[in-house]
Structure 1
């Protein structure tokens, strides 16, 4: 009777497997195991996305995005205006643009003019005055970069380069000579004069040559490391565990020896709480609580040795799965491209929302204590007011686009909604990648004969299923996570507003809320990840998949904890090993320590920038590869937990699960 009940449970839970995975089953059983169609629940989210984009494009003015705007609210380069032939925006003091407020107002607090081209000559007004008696050409060139009312300044006009229809200072050349901080030569560590041109040529050659080679080496080493984990995972992990046990055993002996010597002395009964934080480690080794903690850790490691064996078997099987489906290692590139598209949508929509409305002008004061600073003004009547008298040097300049309509009053809410949609899109992209990888690795796990029964193009098939059937479930899970993240952002914003206040109770409440929502976000991310795996395997909805995943994890809570820590440790060890090894190779390469490459490496006097770039890039590449491997291990673990629910190995054999430990290494640990 128990086997019959288990059979019906398995039949209901496994009816959504791929036909190709179970092609060895009879035809009548194949019909019971087809993928179920997930209901589309993304209609509301898609409508909100389209409505937000339509509203931004309807209210926003594309000219405000395409054409730069000067200090008088006029577009540069627009046909039919006085600035039709002046398509480039010139900043009087571009250093004032280095302000976070510029990202909100989309306007720098400095005078801006529309010019036909950026200045390409280095000159001062004094030079122009001296040359004006001979020829008027310098003045005709210089005054096009002066605003009306220009009154005999002595500041220099440096050279600029045009980028995105804006003029940016060109600090590269001065009268045709390469300079850095207006200097052409520097002294090296040997007190030898060096030209800046030498530094530029060496930097270019080093950047193209050394960094690219280092990143390619990191990519190859990461791939080899993952493929070798099936042979080295157990060795690395057991070596680490044995080393930890030996260190703890020595710590217990040393602590007990110190405690026995100091037991009769005054103050021997102090605790860790009484001592607090100490820089001298020997102080802690003289406490009885220290060797008690060491003993507890040692006992835990001894009792968890069988769970560690399961984790090692899963890591080895994960390496084998990745070797059979190598295309999964390059899926993070697709995720990166999709995230770039989401970021572009968010940026364009934000700019269009911010550019909707009429031009708003505000008083830009030269003195910080001006009472009229940031007040709204009218440029046509500004010179007739007493603002210029109260604040000498103040100007009425274009600030941003806005208005007093209901739309503009709720524009901040629309920006928050746009941020929520952006978070939803990012989380959906990540969820799509996790579901795709889980489906590909699940097809490997449930294959009866590997690799013969693995479906052709498993990654593409899994991606197609995720797009066709599971879009609604992935969108729902991503929306839940996006709402939690949005709540955290709002709390951070409110907390920043309260930093100036002395309300201790409010700060305490916000601190507790931030901590709780941080924990909630971590929990939701963990559950979503496992729910997406169940969706990829069984094709159920998000809620049912999350429930099944939660029940499976609670039945194997110790295995989950051990596997999570073991996997994190091994992957972190691999990332550090790859980044460190590539960094060491790059160090010897850049310092001419490798004889066969000495002639190809340029002489550098400061190699830390390319070296750190190689190390950081190597770590990112290793992280991209290992994220796929971690997803593989999590997928195999949930499949392993599901197979443990079967009360009969005959049922496991029926669904295509090999019970032979020689074929499936995980079969030996099903009762662990």
Structure 2
């Protein structure tokens, strides 16, 4: 209720939206401060907050009810990835053949479909001259020239692939043999598949340390804060000399002569030495973060390369493979190759820092109307993106040569680059065959886990309904998405190890071809399958020759 006295004292109406406004103390809340817009915004904000809280609660409930099933899905993805890598020694050749024939079959069907559509529209369809230029792209589907151009392009692509298969069949066989050897190497050293976990932990430690360093307040002890004494209206005039003077908010006291004063924080001071160099320290921290992360990744690549190189250069496999090759490669890398890895990581870090600066400038200049500046910025970003990819490729192969021969980064990078350039066709063929195979493997693992999770969490597997009851969920898509994402991460980790194994064995194979000739002094270390493909063989000692002849 509102008293008559308060109604008479109020300048505005006593009601807002047909309702009485309660008094606050001896004064009434002005009706002018409330209107339909403010109340609607407040109700909408409250509803949004309640919905967000309700949705987050349901999400946590779903995670709590299905976390063990998600772990089972991740375990299935781990088993599928492991089986795929181990079975490559048996099915690498047929699988690559099936994938290649599948690509050719898809292109052949595209040629047939384009020819069928072109034949249909050739007599009664519109031409490009009749249609003209239009922004409605779907209208071009009814134009005969569209299908004719698509038919020509797909036919040319099909012909190029067929010619490549004919002329590069020998190199494709070598790539398949190397994939089989990589599968054998992974099978001999199963611990390498779980080494990315150590790399991931080291990356988390680096990021956590950088976050703690970035959040640590850099304050000068002598003048840490910009704070002033503040007084409300009606303060004693004798306190004017104290107002707006610097104070320390950490001291909980007030001036006795001016009881209304409070120490108000205004901002950080810029007069201290730490404050003046704060920007430089932040740049130093970002540089250190990028450098440390790249060094950790380089460490992982070099350790894996050292382990797989010990597999290749073992003449009698698996008898000559050293015991604990991964552990030995890890300590050997830390002891002898830390500086080389740091130098390679520094080169990559500088390029990444330049890319970050370009992205920052592009964000600041996004509103600029100068088309020349935008074009120049786009070209610079593209060039440095390509440079970063090239340096990553060069560093990866340089780390392999460091693990094999133990030389410094510059010599190893030069030797790796020249070796790859002398065998560029083999590099391209192996890279594309490996990418195709690993893409199929990721697709197989992720799609398999995703489909199984979908049918389980939606209760569409009758056989599992009787044995295992799927949990009651508010959002069944949430554990499905988590399972798919986890399966992709696990498959990527396993296949990254396999990709490093293939690259290491490939460089060792090229070195083996160039340095050895199959004689007793310089025998080949490659597998018998590779020697059979290349038509090479090792000489046998005279005793073995006589024994074989008998």
TM class, shorter-length = 0.7 to 0.9
> Residues 289, 475 of structure 1: CA spacing in aligned structure 2 closer, same or farther, 3 A cutoff?
same
Residue 325 of structure 1: how far off its partner (Å)? 0.3
2:483 to 601, 614, 619: 614
Measured against aligned partners, the alpha-carbon deviations of 1:274-313 in whole angstroms (never above 9, x if no partner) come to: 9999556785431264223432233223322222111111
Structure-2-length-normalised TM-score: 0.74
Aligned equivalents of 2:52, 2:478: Cα separation in 1 = 22
Residue 410 of structure 1: how far off its partner (Å)? 3.0
Write out aligned runs for 1:200-239 (5 A): 203-239=62-98
Determine the structure 2 residue equivalent to 1:645. Answer: 514
Determine the structure 2 residue equivalent to 1:458. Answer: 325
Matched residue of 2:515: which SS?
coil
> Residues 511, 249 of structure 1: CA spacing in aligned structure 2 closer, same or farther, 3 A cutoff?
same
Determine the structure 2 residue equivalent to 1:432. Answer: 299
Measured against aligned partners, the alpha-carbon deviations of 1:359-402 in whole angstroms (never above 9, x if no partner) come to: 555xxxxxxxxxxxxxxx7353697899xxxxxxxx99646544
Q: Give the aligned CA root-mean-square deviation in angstroms.
A: 3.9
Determine the structure 2 residue equivalent to 1:177. Answer: none
Alpha carbons 1:222, 1:622 under 8 Å: kept: yes
Alpha carbons 1:258, 1:285 under 8 Å: kept: yes
Tell me whether 1:547 sits opposite 2:414 in the alignment: yes
> Residues 474, 356 of structure 1: CA spacing in aligned structure 2 closer, same or farther, 3 A cutoff?
farther
Aligned equivalents of 2:232, 2:309: Cα separation in 1 = 70
Determine the structure 2 residue equivalent to 1:298. Answer: 162
Tell me whether 1:285 sits opposite 2:147 in the alignment: yes
Determine the structure 2 residue equivalent to 1:668. Answer: 532
Determine the structure 2 residue equivalent to 1:573. Answer: 440
Determine the structure 2 residue equivalent to 1:635. Answer: 504
Residue 540 of structure 1: how far off its partner (Å)? 0.5
Alpha carbons 1:355, 1:400 under 8 Å: kept: no
Alpha carbons 2:308, 2:504 under 8 Å: kept: yes
Write out aligned runs for 1:302-321 (5 A): 302-321=166-185
Write out aligned runs for 1:120-139 (5 A): none
Measured against aligned partners, the alpha-carbon deviations of 1:513-547 in whole angstroms (never above 9, x if no partner) come to: 11111000000000000000000000000000000
More helix by share: 2
> Residues 248, 203 of structure 1: CA spacing in aligned structure 2 closer, same or farther, 3 A cutoff?
closer
Determine the structure 1 residue equivalent to 2:544. Answer: none
Aligned equivalents of 1:441, 1:543: Cα separation in 2 = 22
Aligned equivalents of 1:183, 1:300: Cα separation in 2 = 56
Alpha carbons 2:220, 2:272 under 8 Å: kept: no
Alpha carbons 1:206, 1:601 under 8 Å: kept: no
Aligned equivalents of 1:183, 1:571: Cα separation in 2 = 40
Residue 353 of structure 1: how far off its partner (Å)? 5.9
Matched residue of 1:378: which SS?
strand
Residue 243 of structure 1: how far off its partner (Å)? 2.3
Write out aligned runs for 1:71-90 (5 A): none
Write out aligned runs for 1:26-37 (5 A): none
Residue 635 of structure 1: how far off its partner (Å)? 0.2
Alpha carbons 1:202, 1:603 under 8 Å: kept: no
Determine the structure 2 residue equivalent to 1:596. Answer: 464
Alpha carbons 1:218, 1:622 under 8 Å: kept: yes
Aligned equivalents of 1:425, 1:628: Cα separation in 2 = 21
Larger deviation, residues 305-314 vs 496-505: 496-505
Write out aligned runs for 1:19-418 (5 A): 181=50, 203-249=62-108, 251-252=110-111, 284-287=146-149, 289-290=152-153, 291-352=155-216, 354-355=218-219, 358-360=223-225, 378-380=228-230, 398=265, 401-418=268-285
Determine the structure 2 residue equivalent to 1:57. Answer: none
Aligned equivalents of 1:632, 1:399: Cα separation in 2 = 58
Aligned equivalents of 1:671, 1:382: Cα separation in 2 = 95
Alpha carbons 1:571, 1:626 under 8 Å: kept: yes
Measured against aligned partners, the alpha-carbon deviations of 1:85-121 in whole angstroms (never above 9, x if no partner) come to: xxxxxxxxxxxxxxxxxxxxxxxxxxxxxxxxxxxxx
> Residues 331, 583 of structure 1: CA spacing in aligned structure 2 closer, same or farther, 3 A cutoff?
same
Determine the structure 1 residue equivalent to 2:348. Answer: 481
Alpha carbons 2:73, 2:483 under 8 Å: kept: yes
Residue 597 of structure 1: how far off its partner (Å)? 4.7
Residue 222 of structure 1: how far off its partner (Å)? 1.1
Structure 1 unaligned segments of length 5 or more: list them.
1-125, 130-150, 154-179, 187-195, 362-376, 387-394
Aligned equivalents of 1:181, 1:253: Cα separation in 2 = 56
Structure-1-length-normalised TM-score: 0.62
Aligned equivalents of 1:185, 1:342: Cα separation in 2 = 35
> Residues 254, 472 of structure 1: CA spacing in aligned structure 2 closer, same or farther, 3 A cutoff?
same
How many residues align? The count is 463
Matched residue of 1:340: which SS?
helix
Alpha carbons 1:579, 1:618 under 8 Å: kept: yes
Determine the structure 1 residue equivalent to 2:358. Answer: 491
